[in-house]
Structure 1
Amino acid sequence: MKIVTHPSIKSYFDADESRQEVEQAFSRGLAYAGHSLMVPEKFSYQVLPHFNDRYALFNQGENYELISNVCLHRQAQLLEGQGRARSIVCKLHCWGYDNTGQLKGAPHFKDAPSGQLKKESLSVWNGLLFRGRSPNMGLSALGLEDYLDFTDYFYAGSETSEYQFNWKTFIEIYLENYHVYS
């Protein structure tokens, strides 16, 4: 019989231990990136605050991608908010990229450098966009198809809140408040 013990006090305050726990607990799970309603038309983009504005969600027409929002030249932020773009130009030194992140122009360079912004294709499940794998479940079999139907909706905005506490504290309070037994 395996004895389950309460986490040590150190595990609530040690940054390295917390990082390892988060990696172990959440790395194999689903990684939500956004929703297709955030980028409803081809060439539309949305900078993602839940990725600290370091990535933009792009609708490429036949697929969705996360593209780095950081210029390869001097690491400046490329895009803000949301909009439509077939090309991206860095405001700092005018390096230009196409909507797939491919470097197209670098002024003041005799030999133009080549480069590609980091990008990642997303998987789609009922309009929800995931990094890596997507859920493997049928909504109708679960009786949820009416609850996760976003047909007549539009994207209104995002709000991100950050709290300075260890994730275990939130889980423990959540379990206690809702009387969920683990």
Structure 2
Amino acid sequence: MTRHSPDLTPPGATPLDELRANVGVPFAQARAMPKSVYTSAEFLELEMRHIFAQDWLCAGRADALPNPGDYLTMDISGEPVIVLRDREGALRAMSNVCRHRMSTLLEGRGNVRSIVCPYHAWTYNLDGSLRGAPAMALNESFCKEQTGLPQVRCTEWLGWIMVTLNPGAAPPQEKLAEVEALVGKFHMENYVEAFREQFRWGTNWKVLAENFMESYHLPVCHAATIGGTVDLLKMTCPEGLPAFNYHYIIKNDALDLTLAHPTNTVLEGEERRTTWLISVYPSLLITLSPGYFWYLCLTPDGPGHVNVLFGGGLAPEFVADPKAAEHFARLKALLDDVNVEDKGCVERVYRGLCAGMSEPGPLSHLERPNFDFARYIAGMMPGQ
């Protein structure tokens, strides 16, 4: 029996020190991340500043905003943001804060002809330019043409809406080119979203991300739902890439929606039963099968809670099937049950890592993506 390496962090080490020591070993010696990186408010502040304010985040699927004026709102590292479809059909993102007395403008999702501040009725066009401001003619410093909403970088990538506050971030099409190389034949951009929901769970955002990144837990945690569709011996977990990690599973015939539809003529051989789990850093988690997809987008809400955007839908062949409504209903019922199981798992993990006698254990070879995720987080932090 091989004993694990002693703690290499000195007394008084910060959570970042502990994390860097944690990832500074070969994967064959890897252990779960230190407890402090999940429970420390100071470490979460570093994550918000150096990860969430710097990298690309997902606002959901582009087909969620099909019409001019369709919008959704999101929060990026404390910055309220509107994402909308403008009058020319382009996706845009901009500040969700009025340029007058700084009220937030829109909430949730919906459709608008213009953006009207609920405080003093300053009105903005869908491109963010200021259309009107009541009773401002006597203020000599006011210039309507210079008072538009600040724009935020926004692009569509394989059907996903990607947004960042960082003007220097490399485009997703460049950073994530390897994703398309891996799963381009699935044509993820053509899958049709059937539902989009939001909820809040009592765990750290990284616990939920790690839960998605490994399928080691599927046979046990999901024994009543999808656990029977997988074989631990048929899971492959390669080393991750700088912007994402992934693994894939060859599924059996237990669930038809997991497999390619009979009318799919693009996928061949084992591709027709391969499910990919792709974790785009920091917080877009995608399950992509030949028949359906589902995803989570995570936003931290303090160390002990996470806000989750949850959505999913079907491949085009299942959408075109005469039984499409039945397929959608079966998929949603299945994923609702899967979420109940996952919620129990990740909330138990957070309670456990807050316990005094708990300590991080060694990782299985099936948890390679978790180690790569820890290395990404450490690599985004200052002071390298």
- Aligned AA for 1:158? E
CA contact (8 A) 1:37 1:155 kept: no
Which of residues 177, 194, 198 is equivalent to 1:136?
Answer: 177
**Structure 1 residue 126 and structure 2 residue 153: aligned?**
no
Whole-angstrom CA distance in 1 between matches of 2:108 and 2:25 = 49
**Structure 1 residue 41 and structure 2 residue 41: aligned?**
no
CA contact (8 A) 1:47 1:53 kept: no
Aligned to 1:97: 124
Aligned to 1:148: 188
Aligned to 1:180: 367
The 5 A counterparts of 1:57-72 are 57-60=83-86, 61-72=88-99
* Number of equivalences: 178
Whole-angstrom CA distance in 2 between matches of 1:48 and 1:108 = 31
Whole-angstrom CA distance in 1 between matches of 2:82 and 2:112 = 11
What is the Cα deviation at residue 36 of structure 1? Answer: 1.2
Q: Which structure's CA Rg is the greater one?
A: 2
Aligned to 1:86: 113
**Structure 1 residue 117 and structure 2 residue 149: aligned?**
yes
What is the Cα deviation at residue 121 of structure 1? Answer: 3.5
1:65-91 C-alpha deviation (Å, 9 max, x unpaired): 112222222332322333333321112
1:82-136 C-alpha deviation (Å, 9 max, x unpaired): 3333321112111111111122222222134441212224222222121252132
CA contact (8 A) 1:95 1:107 kept: yes
1:126 and 1:105, CA in 2 relative to 1: closer, same or farther beyond 3 A? same
CA contact (8 A) 2:116 2:123 kept: yes
TM-score, length basis structure 2: 0.38
**Structure 1 residue 54 and structure 2 residue 80: aligned?**
yes
Q: Percent identity?
A: 21
Whole-angstrom CA distance in 1 between matches of 2:83 and 2:128 = 12
CA contact (8 A) 1:64 1:121 kept: no
Structure 1 stretch displaced more, 33-42 or 170-179: 170-179
Whole-angstrom CA distance in 2 between matches of 1:162 and 1:28 = 24
1:99 and 1:24, CA in 2 relative to 1: closer, same or farther beyond 3 A? closer
TM-score, length basis structure 1: 0.72
What is the Cα deviation at residue 23 of structure 1? Answer: 5.3
Query: What is the RMSD computed on CA atoms of the aligned residues?
Result: 3.6
Match of 2:82, SS state, is strand
Q: Can you give the 5+ residue segments of structure 2 that lack an aligned partner in the other structure?
A: 1-23, 164-168, 219-365, 372-384
1:137-178 C-alpha deviation (Å, 9 max, x unpaired): 474x53453362435x356433132535363x4466665736
Whole-angstrom CA distance in 2 between matches of 1:35 and 1:163 = 25
Aligned to 2:196: 157
- Aligned AA for 1:47? T
1:142 and 1:120, CA in 2 relative to 1: closer, same or farther beyond 3 A? same
Match of 2:177, SS state, is coil
- Aligned AA for 1:18? L
Aligned to 2:42: 16
Whole-angstrom CA distance in 2 between matches of 1:46 and 1:9 = 35
Whole-angstrom CA distance in 2 between matches of 1:177 and 1:27 = 31
Match of 1:33, SS state, is strand
1:164 and 1:50, CA in 2 relative to 1: closer, same or farther beyond 3 A? farther
Match of 1:17, SS state, is helix
Structure 1 stretch displaced more, 153-162 or 93-102: 153-162
